[in-house]
Structure 1
Amino acid sequence: MKKLFVILLVLSMVFSLAACTGNQQPPAAQEQPEQPEEPEQPESPSEDGDKLVIGLLQDITGKTATLGKMIEAGVKYAVEELNAAGGINGKPIEVITRDTTGDVTVAVNAFELLCTQDKVNAIVGPPVANIGLAIAPISELYDVPVLGFAIDPNTLQKEDGTTYKNMFLLQPSDKQQGEIMAKYAIEELGSKKIGIIFRNDNAYSVGISNAFRAYVKATDVEGVEIVEEVEYKSSDTDFSTMLMKLMAAGADTIFAPNYTQELITITQQARAIGYQGRIINGLDAAPPFASLAGDAANGVIYINNITESDPKIAEIMKIYKDKTGVDATNKFFLGHDVTNIIYQIVQEVGTDPVAIRDAVENLSGFEGLTGVNSIDPKTHQAPGLEMYVHEIVNGESVMIKRYATD
């Protein structure tokens, strides 16, 4: 019964929070389920006391599995390196993966299992905003820090502005990313008539669109306007009519912040109906997008946490490709960095999850492959990380501008 109450509570909060990020008015207040009782905390974070057990809460088999599996690969690559160097106190670091399948209810159950059954010391959270929104409320019930990549600030902060004590974001937020792409479109591309296509039932797509839209509307550059916006649902697969609407409005640039599989279809259909203008995106046009979208990907502009021209990035990419035959993407390096952050903290404060949480909240100046990581204790976000704007040219990603986030 307690688990039922938890799931009902989480689902109601997710829908409310997700609605708040979009253009729609939030639904009328509904009676909330009774707050679940505080669960008993595990007697110790792991069976071996000072052994480090890292939990992975990722989509391994669902629609966003390309993201989750790459984060998992980055974590395991880093753990292999660290274990070869002696692990923690001579004991190997253990990784336990729980598959969310991209489903909110499954994710909630998986999160609870990591905390109670697996007794992990820290959790590497998902890059999917809807999942982050789902676990944020119940993360309060367990003293296990979640170092994640869901860029919606609502995964970190409650309605009253206070933070969820255990939730942290280790990459720039949707607001920061949306503003960078809008700034680039206006100042570098000279975009004047901008169209937007976004998914209205996904917190990531809504959040980054909101930030992009707000920046465009606030610009003092003469003649810049949003000429049309179209929304779609997760069940949609034909975007031609929506794209024609943007073309008819005279859009010289289309902003399409959508997950990789949807973005492939949108880009291919846009080119198929004759759209020759700019298409700009968020993180999900990073590799392997170009290889999957084919020639339609050429000219697409996107933002990324890394640039392959960085020698350290290039070296690891080569090693990993030679070993597995798979290209390491930005999510790989996010997973790699967060694992090393956890390792460094455990070296300093030990394996107690509360001590780890407190140290994460005060993280400062960790130099990783994706930038210098620090956490603002007031927001649980990582200010100052750099982002890289790329263009796809002849199927290859070319870095064209670097931005620092606030």
Structure 2
Amino acid sequence: MQPIRHAVKKMAALALAASAALAAQAQDVTLVSIQSMTGPAAFAGAVFQKAVQLAVEEANAKGGIHGSKISVVERDNAGDKGQAINLTNQAIDRDRALMVIGPTTTADSLAVAPVFNEKRTPFIGFAGSDAILKAGPWTLKFRQGTDVDGPVLARYVLEKTPVRKVALVFDRTNEALIEFKNVFRDAFKAGGGTVVAEEAVVSSDTNFLPLATKLKSMDVDAVYLTSYAEQSANIVQQLRKAGLPEKVRILGSLAIVSPKFLSAAGKAAEGVIAISDYVPGMDRPLNKAFDAAYQARYKTEPDSYAATGYSLAQVVLATLREAGPNPTREKVRDAYMRVRNVPVVVGSGTWTHAERRPHYGALVLTVKDGQFAIAP
């Protein structure tokens, strides 16, 4: 009888331990991150994912949120809107995500926003355009609107340089990049500048010699680019090879601020002026810690995309803390509405929002000796 009793007690103990493990697992906070980890926007999506993972690892190492560990389920929509919608439904219905991070692009965010709002699940993506808010109250934002960056760059150019006449080159296939162009254009004109031309490209274009020849013939002081980093680098190189004078400055939206732009453009990048929300080496405690941690984790220096992903994760973590123990999707959405003044590594170092419209400031950068630095 004694051996039987002992076996029963052992089985009961094992069952109790298993039950406790399941209970602990059930308390984990599940997030789903839908990013363009492959495809045309992978240069941003894959980096966003790494930075989010770093922030979550740091939070879990400190005990998680209200004693619960955070689990991030990674999904790749490869820049495809249809796949983004499919993954959204899976995240909501199968993964039972408390909150979803992503998608990477404005176009994908606009495609999935109605699904999240219909199914009453909060998501916070990387889109800058306020157009995503129109889908409903379950659409949350991290990035500030395009109306913040453009005026800062326009004001700097008009006040600090002799540039008064510009030609605009923009990717017409991306809503956010079109908005960047429009906001800069309007602010530049309002400040007394002249827009000589607006030239559209598409993301798949690689031959810009006809465009370069056209721009070379125009009376302009600068060319403003709002296309992604590697394409912008290609445009800059072809502009210079076509004979665009060095006195004609190159200006850029935050889309070009990436090590890939610097490496692809080479010497042609020198002197470029661009707007951004991050530059490595800023003398702030959180920035120093992030720069070191990212370098140690991924063996490469963080760029603006890494800083954006890490900062978005800080807002998500602050939201989960505000939601309290045993959060629901509705509690998370309501908590986001209350969250203010979150420390981040972008812009001024503090993220806040008013009715889901964030603000954290911007930096004007220039390329000097092959590196982005804060403009004088």
Instruction: Give the alignment's TM-score, normalised by structure 2.
Output: 0.86
> Secondary structure at 1:374's aligned position in 2?
strand
Identical columns (%): 26
When structure 1 is superposed on structure 2, of 113-122 and 172-181 the one drifting more is 172-181
How much has 1:71 moved relative to structure 2? 1.0
Match of 1:324? 298
SS at match of 2:154: helix
Q: Which runs of 5+ in 1 are unaligned?
A: 1-45, 159-163, 402-406
Show the 5 A alignment for 1:29-178.
48-157=25-134, 164-178=136-150
Contact conserved, 1:198 with 1:257, CA < 8 A, in 2?
Answer: yes
- Whether the 8 Å CA contact 1:299–1:393 is kept in 2: the answer is yes
Runs of 4+ in 1 over 4 A off after TM superposition: 46-49
In the TM superposition, 1:359-398 aligns within 5 A as 359-370=335-346, 371-377=349-355, 380-383=356-359, 385-398=360-373
- 8 Å CA contact 2:142–2:315 kept in 1: the answer is no
> Partner residue of 1:306?
278
Larger Cα-atom Rg: 2
Contact 1:362 1:375 (8 Å CA) reproduced? no
CA contact (8 A) 1:375 1:382 kept: yes
2:251 to 280, 286, 297: 280
Q: Match for residue 204 of structure 2? A: 235
* Cα contact 1:229–1:246 (8 A) shared by 2: no
How far apart in 1 are the matches of 2:308 and 2:237? 28
Separation in structure 1 between the aligned mates of residue 24 and residue 61 of structure 2, nearest angstrom: 22
Give the whole-Å Cα distance in 2 for the aligned partners of 1:281 and 1:344.
Answer: 32
Question: What letter matches 2:71 in structure 1?
Answer: E
Give, in angstroms, the shift of residue 132 of structure 1. Answer: 1.6
1:344-380 Cα distance to aligned partner (Å, 9 max, x none): 3322323211111111123211122222122212xx1
Q: 2:233 aligns with which of 243, 254, 264?
A: 264
Per mean C-alpha deviation after superposition, the further-off stretch among 204-213 and 178-187 is 178-187
Of 156, 159, 173, the residue aligned with 1:187 is: 159
Contact 1:114–1:120, Cα closer than 8 Å, also in 2: yes
Aligned partners of 1:216 and 1:110: how far apart in 2?
40
Matched, 1:353 2:329: yes
SS of corresponding position for 1:176: helix
**Residue type of the alignment partner of 2:256:** A
SS at match of 2:196: strand
Matches of 2:152 and 2:212, distance apart in 1: 23
| Distance of 1:74 and 1:322 partners within structure 2 | 12
- Which range moves more in the overlay, 70-79 or 133-142? 133-142
| Inter-partner Cα distance in structure 2 for 1:47 and 1:104 | 36
1:281 is displaced (CA, Å) by: 0.8
Displacement of 1:126: 3.2
Q: Which amino acid aligns with 1:325?
A: K
What's the Cα RMSD here?
2.0
Letter in 2 for 1:260: A
2:169 is matched with which residue: 197, 214, 224? 197
Give how far 1:320 is off.
Answer: 2.4
SS at match of 1:198: strand
CA change 1:282–1:88 in 2 (3 A) is same
C-alpha distance in 1 between matches for 2:366 and 2:150: 17
Q: What SS is found at the alignment partner of 1:156?
A: helix
How far the C-alpha of 1:291 sits from its partner, in A, is 2.4
Report the TM-score when normalising by structure 1: 0.80
Structure 2 unaligned runs (5+)?
1-22
TM-superposition CA deviations, 1:305-361 (whole Å, max 9, x none): 123231332443233223422221122222222223222332232321111111112
AA of the residue aligned to 1:336: Y
Q: Secondary structure, in 3 states, of the residue corresponding to 2:226? A: coil
More helix by share: 2
What amino acid sits opposite 1:334 in the alignment? T
The change in CA–CA distance for 1:127 and 1:255 in structure 2 (over 3 A counts) is farther
Alignment deviations for residues 187-242 of structure 1 (CA, whole Å, 9 cap, x no partner): 222211110011112102211111111122322x3xx3111121122332111211
Tell me how far 1:49 sits from its aligned partner: 4.7
Letter of the 2:303 counterpart: T
Please give the alpha-carbon distance, in whole angstroms, between the structure 2 residues aligned to 1:126 and 1:255.
27
Moved more, 267-276 or 193-202: 267-276
1:42 maps to none
Contact kept, 8 Å, 2:148 with 2:362, in 1: the verdict is no
